[in-house]
Structure 1
Amino acid sequence: MTSTESPLSETSLAAASSQPSAVAGTPAVVSDQPAAASGWRRFTLDWLLHRPPLHVALAYLAVLALAEILTTLIDARVGLVMNSIVLFVLLLHTALAWETPLHRLLVTLAFAPLIRLLSLSLPLAEFPRVYWYFITSVPLFVAAFLVARLLDFSLDGLGINLRALPVQGLVALTGLAFGFLEYKILQPDPLAPAFTWQALLVPALILLFSTGFLEELIFRGLMQSTALEVLGRFGLVYVALIFAVLHIGYKSVVDVVFVFAVGFFFGWVVWKTRSIVGVTLAHGLTNIMLFLVMPFLAATAT
């Protein structure tokens, strides 16, 4: 922020106020602008550094939700600007709060505006839609790796392990039901040209890794882990809300509620099992059913 304060010291300002101005008998006027700017900076720093973590987290949630609504209903350029500001503030806030536990949550929250900025700014229109997920996932995978290193996460701490494999298998199967239900809500067009294994293989792998694994790594592996550290068990609800907010673009209130419920379930599973394997497979299968299987099955049924 550019300071509006005068380069004059407080001592020289005080001295100036006691001297006559160029017009005889007229006292010098000292602007209130420097004091106002200083007060605003103190207020901002106080809010960023001394508010309860829950208040800070909810404020960012509200701003992210507003950015998604404006992007969807008003203009994508408005969302681009707003998400840029949110990302900048989050990174600045992280630096200011580096000596507190809150900084770990703030770093991972930065993924929310980053995801939207990439989807809005990358030149994706020239590619088939299924490749959009792959293209945007590349910088996000890099960012996730860097954040994991920065916050000293191990693979096990991220949930990349083989704990409770029978449970993970059962959780994975829920993706079939979730994909069926979400198709009933959204009814999207298929992301593949034909219902053959040759046409479905690459899109299915993209959805599995670029949405299933990536999003679970970010939201449950990184963000939920730090949210639980700072917010306690409410971190499960909070990350599910962030996850749901990023689905406002589908313009369906029912889908946002559905995604919140699924996100909370995924979060609960990861919290109990300390593994993202099952939810990664479930998430991938949800999107495979939603975008690759159900559109063709629904078409043949009519």
Structure 2
Amino acid sequence: MPSALFYLLIITTAEIVTVAFHPLLGLGIYTVLLFSIIIQVAKTNRFHPDRLILALSLVALIRIISLAMPLSDIPQIWWYPIIYLPLLIATIMVAKMLEYTLKDIGLIWGKIPVQILIGLTGIGLGFAEYAILKPDAIAETLSWSNLILPSIILLLTTGFVEELIFRGVLQKAALDSFGSRGIIYISLIFAVLHIGFFSILDIFFVFGVALVFGYLVKKTGSILGVTIAHGLTNIILFAIAPLLLG
């Protein structure tokens, strides 16, 4: 699908412009991208829109919301619910427009022991990514009182909402368009959105993890395990490893 590859190029360009030049320029590109998606979908059959292109509107919204929100005077931990709540609402709306069932987007339990084992891989992934990025901690101390709230927020936002978007709605649309190659396509987009961490190694790391997550969701039919793994990765990366190893 040439248009999908074109949108991948535009998303990559927008990320580079946001990081290397100015966030407002990147915001402008993403805004144009969102409107172009709306126009393209409107020109197709209203009852059977281009599913992948419509789903890609969620990628544009991720950056538009994160760049446009006035977050500078708000503690970093609260950035996540402020950004991800509207994204969750948008994701639900897009899934409904595409007439996806809960099973279509991985919202089933699957085999719980398998999902737990997948989830626990997030511990190792978190320490591995910390070795690459070494970010500052979003928690003050290694105590339950300081870790419980950030952990819940990261699990529900970067864990659940991101996996619902990428391995749920987007992957379903990409698999319908490209077959198994759709996992590669969504993994590329997911990796591109990490350009802002200024690490080529991290981009490759995230791309590899996304490929594995995508395969596991396709194999098991559930996003539960990867939601836990993604949440644990970011809890280790941003809350525990910086205090334990920093």
Q: Give the equivalent residue in structure 1 for 2:126.
A: 179
Length-normalised TM-score, structure 2: 0.97
Structure with the greater alpha carbon radius of gyration: 1
Distance 1:102 1:252, change over 3 A: farther
2:200 corresponds to 1:264: no
Q: Number of residues paired by the alignment?
A: 246
Residues 156-215 of structure 1: per-residue CA shift (max 9 Å, x gap): 222111112221111101101110110000000001122211011111000000110000
2:28 corresponds to 1:86: no
CA distance in 2, matches of 1:63, 1:279: 27
CA distance in 2, matches of 1:97, 1:262: 34
TM superposition shift of 1:101: 6.3
Question: Which one of 171, 175, 180 corresponds to residue 233 of structure 1?
Answer: 180
Question: Which one of 112, 130, 137 corresponds to residue 190 of structure 1?
Answer: 137
How do 1:12-91 residues align onto structure 2 when only pairs under 5 Å count?
53=1, 55-91=2-38
Letter in 2 for 1:158: I
Q: Where in structure 1 do 4 or more consecutive aligned residues deviate above 4 Å?
A: 99-102
Letter in 2 for 1:181: A
Residues 206-231 of structure 1: per-residue CA shift (max 9 Å, x gap): 00001100000000110000100011
Letter in 2 for 1:74: F
How do 1:1-302 residues align onto structure 2 when only pairs under 5 Å count?
53=1, 55-98=2-45, 103-299=50-246
Residues 86-129 of structure 1: per-residue CA shift (max 9 Å, x gap): 11111111112336966111111011111001111001111111
CA distance in 2, matches of 1:187, 1:172: 22
CA distance in 1, matches of 2:119, 2:144: 21
After superposition, the CA RMSD in angstroms is 1.2
CA distance in 2, matches of 1:107, 1:292: 34
SS at match of 1:160: coil
Gaps of 5+ in 1: 1-52
CA distance in 2, matches of 1:99, 1:113: 21
CA distance in 1, matches of 2:45, 2:19: 33
Q: Which has the higher contact order (CA 8 A, sep 6+)?
A: 2
CA contact 1:224–1:239 (8 Å) conserved in 2: yes
Letter in 2 for 1:239: I
Letter in 2 for 1:57: A
TM superposition shift of 1:133: 1.0
CA contact 2:31–2:64 (8 Å) conserved in 1: yes
Length-normalised TM-score, structure 1: 0.79
CA distance in 2, matches of 1:220, 1:101: 22
Q: Give the equivalent residue in structure 2 for 1:44.
A: none
CA contact 2:44–2:50 (8 Å) conserved in 1: yes
Give the share of equivalent positions with the same residue, in percent: 44
SS at match of 1:275: coil
Residues 129-149 of structure 1: per-residue CA shift (max 9 Å, x gap): 111111001100110111111
CA contact 1:137–1:214 (8 Å) conserved in 2: yes
